[in-house]
Amino acid sequence: MNRNKIIELAKKIKSLAEKGKGGERNAAKEKLERICEKYNISPEEISISEESKDYYIVINDKNERELLINICCMIMDVPGLKWKEKNNCICIRIKLCEYENINNAFEYYRDMYNDYKRYLMQGIIARNVIGYIPKHQTYTQENIQPDVPSTSSEDLKEEETEQKTEGNDDKTSDENENSEDLPEDVQEEKPIDPIKLMKIAVALDKKPWVKNDPNKKLIE
């Protein structure tokens, strides 16, 4: 009997020693020890390798796909791999321990990616001053306070009391509605770190977008 057949026999005995019951299990353990000692078989040689299965990971965009490819190559220590993909659902045939490490690393770095993606958008807005810029306005008495029809003092008192009571009710109801209507991700969103935002904004060295002026073409 050659060594490969002896190792295969030892693997079967080991499986019986792990899954057997009662005296059968004990007898298999003793027989395994005798075979390993007689033929100098190491535990690594008879270790039963875990079977590969299909595991699924969902991605949202091409950047997450690139991230997942690199994580798989890092965990499995391979330069490349094949997988099946349909509707942004990745199917990889790997072992359970590999899937757990890949999935944990992917979730960790995907959260980091989403955080930096939020900072990147804010950095683009801050770096290029995108948004509404208030224009200079001159205020006069006419455009600040329009003509209001005169009312009696008694009517004014009644309106003031009604506005106070109704206003308080509106405030409490509005506060309750706003707290209930807010999505979970908005309520739990972390405040933006100004230092990190400043670094990302400085790194964006592309020139800002310039609006097309039709009058400029006519002048030229």
What string of H, E and C letters represents the secondary structure of 145-177?
CCCCCCCCHHHHHHHHHHHHHHHHHHHHHHHHH
Which of the listed ranges 4-8, 46-50, 99-103, 181-185 does the model predict with the highest average pLDDT? 99-103
pLDDT band for 197, please (50, 70, 90 cuts).
confident
Give residue 146's pLDDT: 56
The arithmetic mean of pLDDT across residues 161-187, rounded, is 51
**pLDDT tens digits, one per residue of 167-179:** 455 545 555 555 5
The pLDDT of residue 19 is: 76
CA distance 50 to 72: 18
pLDDT value for 195: 83
Q: What are phi and psi of 94, to 5 degrees?
A: -140, 180
pLDDT over 80 at 214, yes or no:
no
Strand ranges (DSSP E) for the chain? 53-58, 84-86, 89-94
- Regarding pTM above 0.75, the answer is no
Could you tell me the residue ranges of all domains in the chain?
Answer: 3-39, 53-110
Q: Where do we find the tokens 């001159």? A: 138
User: Residue 193: phi, psi to the nearest 5?
Assistant: -75, 115
CB 80 within 8 A of CB 41: no
Is residue 94 helix, strand or coil? strand
Instruction: Classify residue 95 as exposed, middle or buried by CB count within 10 Å of its CB (0-12, 13-18, 19+).
Output: middle
Q: Give the per-residue pLDDT at 177.
A: 52
